Amino acid sequence: MLPRAESYDDLIARFRWQIPDQFNIGAATTNAWAVREPDRVAILNRRADGEVEQVTYRRLAHDSDRLASALAARGIARGDRVAILLPQCPQTPVAHAAVYKLGAIAVPLALLFGPDALAYRLSDSGARAVITCAQGLERMADMPQAPASLELIVSIDGESGEAQDFDALVASGEETFVPADTGPDDPALMIYTSGTTGPAKGALHGHRVLLGHLPGVEMPHEFLPRPGDVLWTPADWAWAGGLLNILLPGLLLGVPVVASRTEKFDPEAAYALIERLGVRNTFIPPTALRMMRTVRDPARRFRLDLRTLASGGESLGRETYDWAQAELGLTINEFYGQTECNLVLSSCAAIGVSRPGAIGKPVPGHDVAVVDASGNVAPAGETGQIAVRRPDPVMFLEYWGNPAATTAKFVGDWMLTGDQGLCDPDGYIHFVGRDDDVITSAGYRIGPGEVEDCLISHPAVALAAVVGKPDPVRTEIVKAFVVLKPGNAASDDLAADIQAYVRQRLAAHEYPREIAFRDTLPLTTTGKVIRRLLRDEA
């Protein structure tokens, strides 16, 4: 969808949306390729035994057709919600495609969710079915009570209690299935997103959401697909970042996607996986990249053939940007979006759109700006809220069952992201922080990203997170939570050295007046630091 171009201005001038009147994500990501090249590899699945299984489009189309047929025979119909509680494995795209072919709504859920979080999402969505695994069944067994709407539970690890066997269910379906005739605005997918206040909200998307993502995927991956491209992300496929930044676009574009089920991100294992599977294109969240910085001499120890390295989800920072250029010989293409409207800003070093500390520029087809509280575009250099103008093919339809929250998300035609940013005179947008992450100290507004970036440049610091701690004099003070590199011991002297280091490089009002050393930082299922927990502790 993204035309080849030599410059950003040329790219913007030549781009046009191509959204058909009928589009079904399930058919487009499986059957379309199965007809043209049935033996084309869709998924490279690294199994638990270490062997790599090649999953073809023929298999994805066959299994998803049969699963759609079997679910229909058990009463799952158009508009019904089907929860998908699975790790990175071949059954995940099969389940998604089957749900979309039915005209039903997929509700991806992360295996790291606790029983209360699962129970809330299943109940709020009114899910009639769940496709999961043994680990998911254990989580569900601890739920306070089973949602009243739930009628069918399926496990890829075999029959267990009320759960039916996934393979047997697939085998029971008809050989062929005619996908629902869905339009771009027909509901397809609902991803729950946690706001700054209140319970998680279900962001409902139409089938057009996948097409809307393509420019934002192709830009940071420098005109994907190219011959030999192979995609991988450590991000959970239940998250918009894993599902819509990598898995579904990869399937649609015919680029093999690596599936690797892991319980915890291991930077050494990440390099080894990239080497073994021949990964050429990867999306790695900033926190995971900072962990990869702690591995010595990666380019010498591992045979890496990476073509593109994209990152987003939280602020990247200059230190990590510079490290990738020095150690990996790659420029990280930072991008930006959120569950409601994803991949709308991006960098692309191939056409000169790259600036340390900046997210990038608007992706072709998206109208993005920094606005004030009234929805007026802010002058260059002035902080405001990052916003996206509707209509937009990647924008959500609504918050499920919450019209008031949907309305509150907009000022006029601007969808407010809740993220503070500024646009520089050259059109690059810089991320300052979430509305609730920005620290107010002695009249100054301090974005945590700049302080965290400075902290991790200290030779003893591996990871850092910064929050505001209430203070009777300054309103808030900057408090840092720090994970040290191996070989460094926490001490008052080291804390003082880190404070002086930041004060000298930033400003007197920005250095952390308190430092707490930690073995780990609390992370979400998507690899972001959970600052809310750190704020509560502070």
What structural domains does the chain harbor? 22-39+56-206 (3.40.50.12780), 437-537 (3.30.300.30)
Decide: helix, strand or coil at residue 13. helix
Total residue length of the chain: 538
At residue 526, the pLDDT reads 60
**CA distance linking residue 111 with residue 155, whole number of Å:** 13
Q: Which two tokens stand for residue 317?
A: 């920072």
Residue 47 has pLDDT above 80, yes or no: yes
Residue 179 has pLDDT above 70, yes or no: yes
At residue 170, the pLDDT reads 98
At residue 196, the pLDDT reads 43
Could you check whether the bond before residue 249 is cis, i.e. omega within 30 degrees of 0? Answer: no
Q: What is the pTM of this model?
A: 0.87
Span 229-247, pLDDT tens digits: 999 999 999 999 999 999 9
Residue 161 has pLDDT above 60, yes or no: yes
**CA distance linking residue 150 with residue 469, whole number of Å:** 43
Q: Are 463 and 287 in contact (CB under 8 A)?
A: yes
Span 321-379, pLDDT tens digits: 999 999 999 999 999 999 999 999 999 999 999 999 899 999 999 999 999 999 999 99
- Give burial (CB, 10 Å; 0-12/13-18/19+) of 512: buried
What's the sign of the alpha-carbon dihedral 287, 291, 297, 302?
A: negative
3-state secondary structure 234-266: CCCCCCHHHHHHHHHHHHHHCCCEEEECCCCCC
At residue 194, the pLDDT reads 65
Higher pLDDT, 371 or 536: 371
At residue 444, the pLDDT reads 67
**CA distance linking residue 251 with residue 476, whole number of Å:** 47
Which residue is it, tokens 């998924």? 43
At residue 437, the pLDDT reads 78
Span 374-418, pLDDT tens digits: 999 999 999 999 999 999 999 999 999 999 999 999 999 999 998
198: left (phi over 0), alpha (psi -120 to 50) or beta: left
- Give burial (CB, 10 Å; 0-12/13-18/19+) of 473: exposed
Residue 200 has pLDDT above 90, yes or no: no
Residue 441 has pLDDT above 90, yes or no: no
Span 74-123, pLDDT tens digits: 999 999 999 999 999 999 999 999 999 999 999 999 998 888 889 989 99
Q: Which two tokens stand for residue 59?
A: 């298999």
Decide: helix, strand or coil at residue 19. coil
Q: Are 216 and 310 in contact (CB under 8 A)?
A: no
**CA distance linking residue 314 with residue 464, whole number of Å:** 13
At residue 471, the pLDDT reads 83
pLDDT averaged over every residue in the chain: 93
Find which of 345-349, 475-479, 501-505 is predicted with most confidence, using mean pLDDT: 345-349
Q: Which two tokens stand for residue 310?
A: 């994209």
267: left (phi over 0), alpha (psi -120 to 50) or beta: alpha
Q: Which amino acid is at 179?
A: P
Close Cβ partners of 199 (under 8 Å, ≥ 6 residues apart)? 120, 124
Decide: helix, strand or coil at residue 168. helix
**CA distance linking residue 419 with residue 421, whole number of Å:** 6
348 to 257, 288, 311, 335, 361: CA distances (angstroms):
21, 21, 12, 9, 9
Decide: helix, strand or coil at residue 451. helix
Q: Are 451 and 510 in contact (CB under 8 A)?
A: yes
At residue 307, the pLDDT reads 98
Span 249-304, pLDDT tens digits: 999 999 999 999 987 889 999 999 999 999 999 999 888 898 899 999 999 999 99
Q: Are 69 and 177 in contact (CB under 8 A)?
A: yes
Share of the chain above pLDDT 70, in %: 97
Q: Are 55 and 103 in contact (CB under 8 A)?
A: no
Backbone angles phi, psi at 34, to 5 degrees: -60, -30
